A = this chain, B = another copy of it.
Amino acid sequence: MDIFFRPKSVAVIGATPSSGKIGNIIIENLLGEGYKGKIYFVNPNYKEILGIPCYSSVIDCPGPVDMAVIVVPALLVPDVMEQVGKKGTKAATVISAGFSEGGEEGKEREKALSEIADRYGIRFVGPNSLGVISPHYNLNASFARASPMAGPIAFFSQSGAFCTAAIEYSLGEMFGFSAFVSSGNKANIDDADLVTYFAKDAKSKCIAAYMESTRRGKDLFKALDKASKKKPIVILKAGRSKRGAKAASSHTGALAGSDASFDAVFKQTGVYRAKTMFELFDAAQALAHQPPMVEDGIAIVTNAGGMGVIATDCAEDLGLELSELSKTTLDEIGKVCPPTWSWGNPVDIIGDADTARYANVLKAVGQAPEVKGIMVIAARQAATNLYEIAKWIAITAKLSGKPTVACFAGIENPESENFLDSRGIPVMPVPERAVTALHALRVRGKYLSTKGLLDTPQPNRS
């Protein structure tokens, strides 16, 4: 599988100079991202594209081809796969659609394709895939309009459109990926293969996925069970509802499977189940960077009483417990706050809290043995310096070693957000999302405790 993410040479079969066509977007993505390997173009209709020679068949490419990207019409794909086999190429990404997602004829074609690949020992992604991206390797072998940043999240998705949405979203929120795979119809490489590979991949600190169905339920279970012991996994499995399951089945031509059985598998293997795209990536960011929360008891520090109440409601919705603060902790906080502070948890340090008050309260909370996880809320008020507060959040996380998340309420503040992001501390614009991030860390911690895996190396703060 390594070869998909670190190929020394890629051939685009179906490359075209026609702007806007998929076979053109792919060559632009390959050429424009700084990929250092060899790129071959294949298309019998052209002698050259963008001044680069174009070959009539993959067999004619003058050097070895590590990965073939196939983007010819569906009818031609089996023949092309034969040639890929003859060339000795062992990895392919089939972009072309017109297979099992589109009726009986397509199903037959997909079966034929799989047989050819098996005969030659080719592993392939797709068909009906957006492609494969390996950001740390500057490889974008996809027709996505943008390239995601490099980072610690290994991601795969059955839905190509979910991929494009996820890329744009990640660029806005500034998080990155170790691998990004549109798995399409999963005729050959499927969820189980990807999970197994990412579990071993050193650059992947967390595995995240969008799924609708699987054909190899038992293999997926085994793969998740094994991978989860090494690193955290978060999955958005759509088709939870009856009607949603029906829609998922229509979307990919595969049965969605009993949602209850997915749920049971996720619970048993410690997978965090997300219901929305926000949850998926909020949890993934937290799990990729932050230590698991091995015991119950969070502290919510806030300069905005209302935001503290909303966070508390959301934590209770999720079963995420707030610490009962000890007398020692209350006294410590009391020393550095005006007498009107909340004298409890959520720790409402009052709207006029300045940097020094945040710093001192965070110190007390960081040192409190009853506090196992920290959530810091800052709303912009007269005395609020978000950048300075961000620094104290990072200092507290570092000194205490406790899982820490932040909510800068409603605020677009790229400077302090980037500061926290680059230190692996999730920062959210609304309290409920910060609560989800912390909850994912607690679920991970519970799983590790239960399985006796607490000594397993976990993500370190960058």
Contact = CB atoms under 8 A, between A and B. Distances in A.
A382 B143 contact: yes
A366 interface: no
A105 to B, nearest CB: 11
Interface in A102-126: 102-103
Contacts of A160: 304, 351, 381
Interface string A193-228: 000000000000000001010000000000000000
Interface string A294-319: 00000000011111111011111100
Contacts of A172: 410, 412
B306 A241 contact: no
A351 B161 contact: yes
A328 interface: no
A246 B166 contact: no
Given A310-B276, A312-B241, A380 B247 contact: no
Nearest to A348: B251
Contacts of A409: 161-162, 164-165
Contacts of A162: 304, 306-307, 379, 409
Contacts of A278: 430, 432
Contact of A164 (B212, B310, B379): B379
Interface in A81-134: 97, 101-103
Identical copies of this chain, number? 2
A252 interface: yes
A1 interface: no
A161 B251 contact: no
A339 interface: yes
A277 B430 contact: yes
A248 B348 CA distance: 10
B102 A309 contact: no
Interface residues of A, number: 78
Given A241-B312, A246-B344, A339-B103, A306 B161 contact: yes
Interface in A145-190: 145, 157-162, 164-169, 172
Given A247-B312, A278-B430, A309-B244, A168 B411 contact: yes
A419 to B, nearest CB: 18
Contacts of A306: 157-159, 161-162, 210, 212, 238, 251
13 contacts: A20-B382, A101-B340, A143-B382, A160-B381, A164-B409, A172-B412, A238-B313, A240-B317, A248-B309, A251-B305, A251-B342, A275-B313, A276-B430
Given A160-B381, A161-B304, A276-B310, 16 more contacts: A20-B382, A25-B382, A159-B309, A160-B304, A161-B303, A161-B305, A165-B307, A165-B409, A169-B429, A236-B310, A238-B306, A241-B312, A241-B316, A247-B312, A276-B430, A276-B431
Q: Which 3 A-B pairs have the closest CB atoms?
A: A159-B306, A161-B304, A165-B410
